[in-house]
């Protein structure tokens, strides 16, 4: 009996690693990432301090990393000052029972970390830098699957008590 259990455990472990899936992979928390996979054209707009949008185009590739436990969105964007390599990582923290969003780029600024949730009926992730009560300068991010071949990423900054769009990005499948 012990041999059968050992063989079953060994077979399960080998199967998981053969599929390149982490033993920490959790359905449905990680499964939602699959709808964002692929190669994408990116159209983006940033709002300046005066409210005037600036923007451009780029391209992105999204893939599952770390045994299918994180979604890695790597974008190459063209700005007036040059090209920007922008990466978003979305994962699920089982200890906090929350999703996390990490954003970093080649500008030399500090990476940003947000905590949030996935709202299945709306097909969107919502991340915030605050728990309950937003204050001036707080940020909220929304990553939404608009349709099978398009998702958007919008960041909002709290100004004068109102969330205003600061960055608006559309990812359209190639």
Report domain extents, the chain: 26-173
Which of 1.10.260.40, 2.40.128.20, 3.30.413.10, 3.40.50.300 is the CATH number of 26-173?
2.40.128.20
Report the percent of the chain where pLDDT is more than 70. 84
pLDDT in tens, 45-88: 887 666 666 778 899 999 999 888 899 999 998 876 678 889 99
Residue 173: count of CB within 10 angstroms of its CB: 15
Dist CA 34 CA 130 (whole Å): 27
Residue 79: count of CB within 10 angstroms of its CB: 14
DSSP H helices, 19-158, are none
129 contacts: CB under 8 Å, gap ≥ 6: 114, 138, 139, 140
């Amino acid at each position: 009996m012990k041999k059968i259990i050992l063989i079953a455990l060994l077979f399960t472990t080998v199967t998981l690693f053969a599929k390149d899936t982490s033993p920490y992979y959790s359905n449905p928390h990680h499964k939602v990432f699959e709808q964002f996979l692929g190669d994408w054209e990116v159209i983006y707009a940033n709002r300046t301090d005066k409210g005037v949008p600036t923007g451009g185009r780029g391209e992105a590739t999204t893939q599952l990393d770390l045994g299918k436990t994180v979604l890695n969105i790597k974008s190459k964007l063209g700005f007036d000052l040059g090209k920007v390599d922008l990466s978003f990582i979305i994962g699920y923290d089982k200890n906090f029972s929350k999703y996390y969003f990490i954003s970093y780029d080649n500008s030399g600024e500090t990476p940003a970390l947000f905590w949030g949730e996935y709202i299945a009926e709306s097909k969107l992730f919502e991340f915030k830098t605050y728990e309950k009560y937003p204050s001036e300068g707080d940020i909220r991010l929304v990553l939404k699957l608009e349709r099978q071949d398009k998702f958007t990423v919008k960041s909002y900054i709290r100004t004068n008590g109102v969330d205003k769009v600061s960055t608006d990005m559309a990812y359209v499948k190639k």
